[in-house]
Structure 1
């Protein structure tokens, strides 16, 4: 494996981790009442809404530093699947006025996280190349 591969993995981890972390920090400072409402409306127990902190705070931090990277990436991917199911399912097959997919951001987080889970952390990580 070349240094470029490891640099690419680092760039992908930082991109997904940092951008997802911003969403988690927003929820940490502004609350999750909206998510609790969606979870409740779906018939799920409201404590499930607190999982957003795992998926949008803890997992992104682990992605950024490269520790437990594969499990963290899978958690982030599951977080996006739940977000799509609860908040964005009506947009799944929709397009914007500019021709883009309405779920571009969620798709980036979902498929970027799955890519990280498949690729691992790379050499430039706390956990090491295969983490």
Structure 2
């Protein structure tokens, strides 16, 4: 294993933990509240349930290294949605009332990186499927 593999594993686990915690937070805070927030933005409320499930289950999958590329693409789509529907108007650092989109942009970059590179080192998916190209 080289340094690039170690870096990819670190990013994969950190991104997985971050999204898992965000998904868990949505469930703990009540998905109805999240759905109402989505609706206040003009986004269908049911999409809050989809996002929460993707964040929770996708986070676990990334931590374990299962379906990394697919989950990373889903996370990238979620971050693009968050940036353009909620955060963009506040600017990069925020407007004093709401945080900016700097965190979402960093998470987007991490997700894109993981969707592109091979991050099969220390992954359960690699052990199950025995092919680094499928992870």
TM-score by length of 2: 0.80
Q: SS at the partner of 1:45?
A: coil
Distance 2:24 2:48 in 1: 15
TM value normalised by structure 1: 0.82
Match of 1:10 in 2: 9
Range that drifts further, 33-42 or 7-16: 33-42
Number of the residue aligned with 2:58: 59
* Comparing 71-80 and 25-34, the one that deviates more: 25-34
RMSD of aligned Cα (Å):
2.2
The Cα shift of 1:62 comes to 1.1
1:84 maps to which residue? 83
Q: Which residue of 2 aligns with 1:111?
A: 109
| Unmatched tracts of structure 1, length 5 or more | none
Structure 2 residues not aligned, in runs of 5+: 127-131
SS at match of 1:102: coil
Which residue of structure 1 aligns with residue 38 of structure 2? Answer: 39
Whole-Å Cα distance in 2 between the matches of residues 85 and 19 of structure 1? Answer: 20
d(CA) in 2 for partners of 1:35, 1:81:
18
- Conserved 8 A contact 2:5-2:121: yes
How many residue pairs are counted as aligned between the two chains?
126
Deviation of the 1:96 alpha carbon:
5.3
Counterpart of 2:120 in structure 1 is: 122
Structure 1 residue 85, shift from structure 2 partner: 2.9
